[in-house]
Amino acid sequence: MPPSPQVVLALDLGTSQCKAALYSVDGVSHALTSAGYELRHPAPNFAEQQPSHYLEAAKQVSRDLARDAKSNGAAIVAVGLSTQTPTLVACDEAGKALGAAIIWQDSRAGDEAQWLLDQIPTARREEWFGLDLPIGAASTPAKLLWVKRHAPDLWSATRWVMQPKDYIAFCLTGRFTTDRWCAKGITHFQSGQVHSEYLKLLGKRVSPCPPVLSPLMINGVVKEEASREWGLDAGVPVSVGWSDALAGIVATGALHREKLGFVLTGTSEIIGLSSRPREQAPGLYRVPGNLIDIKGLEIHYGPTQSGGSCLLWLAQLFDRTPEEVLGCLDRRVSTGPNSILFRPYLYGERAPYWDHRLSASFDGLRGEHTVGDLVHAVLQGVALQERLVLECAERGEAAEEVVVAGGAARNQCWDQMRADVLQRRVCVLSDPATSLRGAALLAWSALGVISLKNPPASWFYGRELVPNPSGASSYRELMDRFRLGK
């Protein structure tokens, strides 16, 4: 890292690891590092992690990058945060984690989700939450009801329900806070308060949600007792931060430009479109333009249940590395669509179906097909799901361009396949770590150094890929087969 007087430390509490990087004010990323943690499946449909592992991983990467900054004459002037969500960390009054975190991938709450859909009318849920919140086994309300019903002692002892970033922020600053988007499914989206009827359903006297602040605000400062363990100076500001989805969306420029599509790839994916205010797309989230008023744009997006996880599944299945699996694409992408249709529902699906019971499948598989054909089909299936969600978000308002970024966007052959399947011009961001990048941009804005309405253009650099138009009709036919019910 070249000498730089000031940098922001960005931390992203992801599904498999805590990633971290130092960002200077011009958007240059320095010294990317990470520390992993275990994902456990103690029972069918369960997906859990230990909050202590989040804490140790965050401390490790913070110490490593603090040393790197010091050796290069740079000063860490703030900490920015983003997080996997909805991942629930139950804590007592003092902020001590009470058990395993139930992560977003967990689908144990299927019965509770169905109960909410059957017993609580949509209009009533909108009154509770202030928005049309998709309800599925992965949603926060279903998870909270599951804990109340199946772990009553834990629920009774729970004072705070936090997301991983909010738990880490508390450990750094001693302050309980969250943001409006991470609080959805607990509080009313506009007021930040818990509806009295919903609070009664949860069996709580007071809100289990920390106070809600803007992601552009400073949460607090690094406390003296945390300074040594984290390698940070006491008094360094810590920003509130955002979900990994919205932090990543900020980094694409979608909040600054109308009709910009995006695909954020990782273990799962985030796909959507920026637009002027309009009716919510069924099965997707709608992020109102007033959540952070930059250009008056709102976001329609859907999270999927898998993405890069399909690549990891293939690698384990074939006893190969992910890089070796991706190597099978090189001579196949240019040949156009694969006749094998793969639906990537290895863990059920969130948007647009919100059905944890869905399963993955191959259609058209024959004895002459090879490992390479299966790899092509699986990664094509991920791209088809991206197109499905994007078309739901567009609703006839076509994306002028689609920004692609994330950990599963580092392979040019797969990215070209995405462009061909989407049949839209694609821009692959130079920095794939969009959640980190967004967290850093929010932190610089919270400091007042950057105006989020007009950030430097250097934050949004990428390379362009153009789809092969000759495959348009073939991919259209493939999409007709891909949609459920076809």
pLDDT band at 292 (very low <50, low <70, confident <90, very high): confident
Domain count, the chain: 2
Query: What's the CA gap between 239 and 84, in Å, rounded?
Result: 16
For the chain, the residue count is 486
Name the residue with tokens 């997707």.
284
Query: What's the CA gap between 33 and 181, in Å, rounded?
Result: 27
Query: What's the CA gap between 311 and 383, in Å, rounded?
Result: 12
Burial code (b: 16+ CB inside 10 Å, e: under 16) for 344-361 equals bbbbbbbbbbbbbebebe
Same domain, residue pair 276 and 424? yes
Q: What is the pLDDT of residue 231?
A: 98
Host domain of residue 329: 253-433+456-486
Q: Determine if the pTM surpasses 0.75.
A: yes
Q: Would residue 451 count as lying in a domain?
A: no
Query: What's the CA gap between 226 and 59, in Å, rounded?
Result: 10
Summarize pLDDT for 426-461 with one digit per residue, the tens: 999 999 899 999 999 999 999 999 999 999 999 999
CATH number of the domain enclosing 148: 3.30.420.40
In the chain, the percentage of residues whose pLDDT exceeds 90 is 91
Asked if 250 and 405 touch (Cβ cutoff 8 Å), the reply is no
Q: Would residue 361 count as lying in a domain?
A: yes
Mean pLDDT across the chain, nearest whole number? 95
CA distance to 131, 146, 286, per residue, from 206 (Å) = 22, 19, 28
Q: Please give the helix or strand (H or E) that residue 179 lies within, else none.
A: strand 178-179
Name the residue with tokens 């863990």.
347
Q: What is the pLDDT of residue 486?
A: 52
pLDDT band at 336 (very low <50, low <70, confident <90, very high): confident
Q: What is the pLDDT of residue 344?
A: 98
Q: At what angle do helices 140-150 and 110-119 cross, to 10 degrees?
A: 110
Give the helix ranges, DSSP H, for 221-301.
Answer: 224-230, 244-252
State which of 240, 267, 300 marks the end of a domain.
Answer: 240
Q: Would residue 297 count as lying in a domain?
A: yes
Q: What is the pLDDT of residue 261?
A: 98
Same domain, residue pair 323 and 222? no
Same domain, residue pair 96 and 54? yes
Q: What is the pLDDT of residue 4?
A: 56
State which of 186, 219, 240 marks the end of a domain.
Answer: 240
State which of 218, 240, 262 marks the end of a domain.
Answer: 240
Same domain, residue pair 263 and 235? no
Query: What's the CA gap between 426 and 268, in Å, rounded?
Result: 19
In the chain, the percentage of residues whose pLDDT exceeds 70 is 99
Q: What is the pLDDT of residue 436?
A: 97
Calculate mean pLDDT across residues 235-258: 96
Summarize pLDDT for 88-139 with one digit per residue, the tens: 999 999 999 999 999 999 999 999 999 999 999 999 999 999 999 999 999 9
Same domain, residue pair 22 and 94? yes
Same domain, residue pair 180 and 77? yes
Q: Please give the helix or strand (H or E) that residue 485 lies within, else none.
A: none
Query: What's the CA gap between 327 and 482, in Å, rounded?
Result: 25
Q: Would residue 88 count as lying in a domain?
A: yes
Same domain, residue pair 303 and 197? no
Summarize pLDDT for 360-389 with one digit per residue, the tens: 999 999 999 999 999 999 999 999 999 999
For residue 1, pLDDT over 60 is answered with: no
Query: What's the CA gap between 15 and 19, in Å, rounded?
Result: 10
For residue 3, pLDDT over 70 is answered with: no
Q: What is the dihedral of CA 397, 402, 408, 414, to 10 degrees?
A: 100
The pairing of beta strand 178-179 with beta strand 212-213: parallel
